Chains A and B, each alone.
Chain A
Amino acid sequence: MSTNEHPKTLFEKIWNQHIVVAEPNNPTVLYIDLHLVHEVTSPQAFTGLREKGLKVRHPDKTMATMDHGIPTTPLDIPISDELVIKQINQLEKNCQEFGIPLHGLTSAYRGIVHVIGPELGLTQPGMTVVCGDSHTSTHGAFGTLAFGIGTSEVEHVLATQCLLQTKPKTYAVRVEGTLSLGVSAKDIILNLISRIGIGGGTGHVFEYMGSTIRGLSMEERMTVCNMSIEGGARAGMIAPDETTFEYIKERPLAPKGEAWNAAVEAWRKLPTDDGAVFDQEITIDANTLEPMITYGTNPGMGMKITDTIPDPDSIKEVSERQTLVKALQYMGLRPGQPLLGQPIDVVFLGSCTNSRISDLRVAANLIKGRKVANTVRFMVVPGSQQVKLQAEAEGLDKIFKEAGAEWREAGCSMCIAMNGDQLQPGQYAVSTSNRNFEGRQGKGGRTFLASPLTATATAIVGKIADVRTMF
C-alpha cells in the first residue's frame, strides 16, 4: 500500500480489481472469474440465450454439476422422478450445446456445487465467484467475493461474463478466543445469526476475522461463510493465509509450478489493510460459546443447547412476537421448554454447510462403538463423490453402517428435500444443514439446526443431546 492510498478491506480490493465499467448513476459492471451452474436455477437462463441467439462467452470459466434433485440412493437404481429426469437431461443438453464442462451423474467429481468447486481447486483467493444458489457465499472462505444470483443474472453471466452490481457495505465479524471441546464452526455462525437476526447483514458483505477464525481449517471456514446468507449478507469472506494456500496446492485445477508462486504472491496482498474501516462491526467471544441449536422456523431463532425456549410475552415488538408465536405453533413447542431431551425422528448429516470429510470424521469418531437409537433414522450424505470415496478409504462408511446409520450417495438431499429425501409431516429432525424454514425439509417437517457433533449425539441418544456429556 502506498502512502497516498486509503487502507482497504479484502472486499474493496477484490471489488476494485473486477470493475469493468463504473458509470455514475448506474450499477457497476463487475467481471466474474468463475460461474458455477446446477440443474435447478439454470434451464430458463439457457432458454433466454437461445431466444436471443446468444452464445456462452466463457465456457472455460463456467462449470456445471447436478446436485439439487438427484437421488442419494445407489447409482444403479434408475431415477423415478420424471421431472428430475427432465431437468438433468436439460442440463446435459445445455452443457453440450454451449460447450460447458459438466460433472454429471457418473463423474467422480460430482457433488454439491459448493463442495466440488473448492475440491477441484477452482475456488481461489481474489476471485469473483457466482452461482444461482444463495450458499455460494461458502467460497468466500478462500478470500473470494462469492455470492448467489437469480436466473436472470445467470443468463447475464453466461452471455457477458459480467454482472450489474451496486456496491454493498462491509461488516466485520471478529471472533476471538478458543472454542471449548464440543463447540464448532457451526456454533460460531449460528451464534452470530441468533444475535443479529436473519436480516442483520442485509446490504452487507461479512468479513470474518480474529484469532478463532485464523485457527479454523478451510472446511470449518467454509461452514462459517456458507451461512452468511442466513444472516442476510450477500457474501461472507475470510482473508487467505497459509491454511488457504495449503488447502489449494496440488488440487486438480489449481495453478502449478511458476504460476503457483505468482498466484500466492498476489494472494498475499489481499488481506484487509491495517486501519481499513468497516461500515459495521460485531465481536464474538469464542471462549463463552456453547453448542447452539435452533428452536424456530428461521435460522436466527437459535439458542445455547442448554437454554430454554424464549417466551413470546417477553417480546415488546408486536410483529416480532407474532413471528415467534407462529414459529412455536408450527414447531409444536412451548415457551420456557428446554430442547435437551426433545425426541427426534430423523437426523440429517449433510448439505453444503456440513458434509465435508472433516464433518464425517468427527461424527464417525463420536458414533464409533455406539449405536443409533432405534427410534431414529440417521442419514449420512457426503457432499461429493470425492468426499464419499475418501470416507470409504478411511472406513468411515463402515463405522456409520455398523452403528445403524444410512450411508448415501452425494447430493443436496434432505437440506432442500427435492429428491425424495424428506421428512414426513410432523416429524422432528436435527439437521446439519442451513435452513429450518417451514416445510424446508419436507412439507410439515420440523427442523432443528445444529452442528455435526450435536446431530450425531442426538442420533445416538434419540433425543436432543449435549455432546459435551458424551466425550
Chain B
Amino acid sequence: MEKFATLTATMVAIPTENIDTDQIIPARFLKVTDKAGLGDNLFCDWRYNADGTPNPDFVLNTTQGKKAKILLAGDNFGCGSSREHAPWAIMGYGFQAVISTSFADIFCNNSLKLGLLPIAVDKETHLQLLSLLEEEPATQITIELQNQAVVLPDGRKVTFPIDNFSKTCILKGVDQLGYLQSHAAAIEVYEANHADRVNTLA
C-alpha cells in the first residue's frame, strides 16, 4: 500500500445516488486473475458508447475528468457486490479518494485496506463541493489524512470520520495483514480453546 498523507487535487463529480459496483466495474470484466487494466473499464457502460468509442457526455471523458484524483459521488456509493475489483478499478484510473455522503459497508472496508480514502461528508458540504465544481471545474481541494479534514478553497476545514486503525495503516502505508499476523499467538490460544466446527477435508 502507498503512504497517504496529504492530497491537493482536482475533482470530478458523478453525483448519481446508489452507484453500485456493477456500474463501477461490470461483471464481465471480473474474469481476471490479476488487478491490471481494470481502470480502463471503470464505469465502462457509462463511459463508452456501444461501438466502444468514448461517450463525450460522460464526465470521465472530459479534460478535467481525465486528470482528477478525487471522485465526488452520490449517496450510498459502492453498494451491491463485494468485488474488490471496484476499488481496484477506481485506483487503477488514478483516483486516490472518493467523497460521498455515505458508503456501502463492504466497499468502504475494501477501500480502506487498499489506501483508497472513502470520505463521508455532510450533505451541505457535499452540495457545496458540487457547486464549486460547477462554477470552476479546475477547483482544487486538499485532503489531510492526519487531521481527517477536507480543506475547501475558502480555507474552511470539514472533518471526516475514519477508524484510527485504518488511518494509521494508510498514513504508514502498511498492509492490515501484518496486524493480524502479529496476533499469531492469540490465534493459537483461541484455537486450542475452541473445537473446530467443521472439517471440509472429512
Contact = CB atoms under 8 A, between A and B. Distances in A.
B35 interface: yes
A68 interface: yes
Given A59-B200, A439-B22, A21 B186 contact: yes
A385 B187 CA distance: 36
A443 B198 contact: no
Given A29-B186, A150-B84, A199-B102, A164 B30 contact: no
Interface in A299-324: 300, 319-320, 322-323
A26 interface: yes
Nearest to B166: A27
A26 B30 contact: no
A155 B16 CA distance: 32
Contacts of A151: 84, 110
Interface in B131-155: none
B81 interface: yes
A27 B140 CA distance: 33
B27 A416 contact: yes
A81 B199 CA distance: 34
B173 interface: no
B17 A133 contact: no
A20 B186 contact: yes
A443 B45 contact: yes
B90 to A, nearest CB: 13
B200 A156 contact: no
Interface string B189-202: 01100101111111
Interface string A43-68: 11001000010000001111100001
Contact of B200 (A86, A159, A253): A253
Interface string A200-244: 001100000000000000000000000001001010000000000
Nearest to B77: A199
B23 interface: yes
A161 interface: yes
Contacts of A440: 22, 27
B58 to A, nearest CB: 14
Interface string A430-462: 000001011110010000000000000000000
A26 B110 CA distance: 17
B82 A253 contact: no
Interface string B93-117: 0000000001011100110011000
A439 B45 contact: yes
Interface in A155-209: 155-156, 159-164, 166, 168, 198-199, 202-203
A438 B84 contact: no
Interface stretch (A5-13, A33-41, A357-365, A400-408): A33-41
B30 A40 contact: yes
A145 interface: no
A150 B82 contact: yes
B200 A164 contact: no
A59 B106 contact: no
A101 interface: yes
Contacts of B201: 59-60, 101
B22 A438 contact: yes
Contacts of B183: 20-21, 29, 160, 162
Given A40-B31, A61-B198, A162-B180, A134 B186 contact: no
Contacts of B181: 159-160
Contacts of A298: 18, 20, 79
A56 to B, nearest CB: 11
A87 interface: yes
B176 interface: yes
A61 B48 CA distance: 43
Contacts of B17: 319-320, 322-323
A33 B110 CA distance: 21
B26 A68 contact: no
A148 B82 contact: yes
B53 interface: no
Contacts of B57: none
Nearest to A93: B33
Contacts of A323: 16-18, 74
Contact of A438 (B15, B23, B164, B176): B23
B200 A60 contact: yes
A25 B164 contact: yes
Interface of A: 17, 20-21, 25-27, 29, 31, 33-34, 40-41, 43-44, 47, 52, 59-63, 68-69, 81, 83-84, 86-87, 90, 100-101, 122, 124, 126-127, 132-134, 148-153, 155-156, 159-164, 166, 168, 198-199, 202-203, 229, 232, 234, 253, 298, 300, 319-320, 322-323, 326, 416-418, 425, 435, 437-440, 443
5 contacts: A34-B200, A86-B31, A199-B18, A203-B105, A416-B27
Given A150-B83, A319-B15, 10 more contacts: A27-B163, A41-B82, A43-B34, A60-B200, A101-B200, A150-B113, A151-B84, A298-B18, A300-B18, A437-B22
9 tightest A-B CB contacts, nearest first: A150-B110, A83-B31, A150-B84, A148-B82, A43-B33, A199-B76, A151-B84, A152-B113, A134-B82
